[in-house]
Amino acid sequence: MRFNPKADISGGRVGDAGSGGGGGMRGGGMRIPIPGGTRAGGGIGGLLIVVLIVVLNMCMGGGGGLPSPDGSGTGVDPQSQSGNPQGIEQDGERYANCKTGADANEDVDCARKAVALTLEQFWAKTLPEQGGPGFTAAQIVTFSGGVNTGCGQATSQVGPFYCPADSQIYLDTTFFADVLEGQLGGQGGDFVEPYVLAHEYGHHIQNLLGTMGQVRTQKGPQSDAVRLELQADCYAGMWTRDASDGDGILEGLDQGDIDEALDSAKTVGDDRIQEKSGQGVNPEAWTHGSSEQRQRWFAVGYNEGTLQACDTFSASEL
């Protein structure tokens, strides 16, 4: 993955909350994984194994979003959000020197800022073109230890997540090496984080579309919670298809980049995580979808490139 060295990336919405701590998140975030589990004498049993979960009925209200007055949407008005929870510094010292694509090619923080801008540009164009509402960008916020969000206090253990209450994406960047690779055995690579960010940005698009209000069932291979997550993977595939053209900030993606995204989707499949934890595979406990489902819906977005093709809620089979 390479960025156009002459590209202006200064407009990417990123912020840094620095180092924090505190209690657990009170709910509401669309999460990639939560490290959990208990020690069982050492060896593989002593590993912290990630458990994927979507919290849908706490601070957001029933059905995955704050209910709108007519009950049809999420009730979250992105235009009304402050966009800057306490302690979050827009750009700040961490991103102060991220100005061009050349900076993004040399620094992972600047690469994050560049990816944020490509996501904003893609959805600002695609959403209205394909019949969606007006677009409001989400901010990506990095932190370590803990962070205060519109969905409550969160620690780094929750993994990357989107909070619909403040329309922001939060991540502790140690997640990728410590959890995705270290605990779950993902192959890693420079396109892994962009895939995860694109998935979380997909939740922001669902928030704007009111899709979160469609979530009623929260576990099982055909559940609404799984459909929500697979749709976010599909939206990530849509962005990846556009980024592959190489006519913007990104100079194009190769097959290795696509393989890294697919490997990440496989790594965070519910069945893969159940196997890693030493449990038997139990589809009735799934909240995010199997490895096969996640890879397949990413590929649908990549190959088809439309919101309609990513309508997992209308799919008879996932």
pLDDT of residue 278: 80
pLDDT of residue 90: 61
Q: Is the pLDDT assigned to residue 59 strictly greater than 60?
A: no
Contacts 24+ apart (CB under 8 A), 112-115: 112/12, 112/14, 112/140, 112/142, 112/173, 112/193, 112/197, 113/9, 113/12, 113/14, 114/3, 114/7, 114/9, 114/12, 114/249, 114/250, 115/12, 115/193, 115/194, 115/197, 115/198
Gap between the Cα atoms of 159 and 116, Å rounded? 18
Q: Residue 171 belongs to what H/E stretch?
A: strand 168-171
Q: Among 44-53, 105-114, 125-134, 189-198, whose mean pLDDT is lowest?
A: 44-53
Question: Chain-wide mean pLDDT for the chain?
Answer: 78
- Tens digit of pLDDT for each residue in 162-183? 999 999 999 988 877 776 666 6
Q: Among 13-22, 43-52, 85-94, 288-297, whose mean pLDDT is lowest?
A: 43-52
pLDDT of residue 79: 34
pLDDT of residue 173: 82
Q: Tell me phi and psi for residue 12, to 5 degrees.
A: -65, 130
Gap between the Cα atoms of 260 and 238, Å rounded? 16
Q: Is the pLDDT assigned to residue 72 strictly greater than 50?
A: no
Mean pLDDT on 137-160:
89
Gap between the Cα atoms of 194 and 240, Å rounded? 9
- Tens digit of pLDDT for each residue in 144-154? 888 999 999 88
Domain residue spans of the chain? 14-314
Q: Is the pLDDT assigned to residue 307 strictly greater than 90?
A: yes
Q: Among 71-75, 226-230, 244-248, 312-316, whose mean pLDDT is lowest?
A: 71-75
Highest-pLDDT range among 4-18, 80-94, 166-180: 4-18
DSSP 65: S
Task: Report pTM.
Answer: 0.81
- Tens digit of pLDDT for each residue in 203-255? 999 999 999 988 999 999 999 999 999 999 999 999 999 998 877 899 988 99
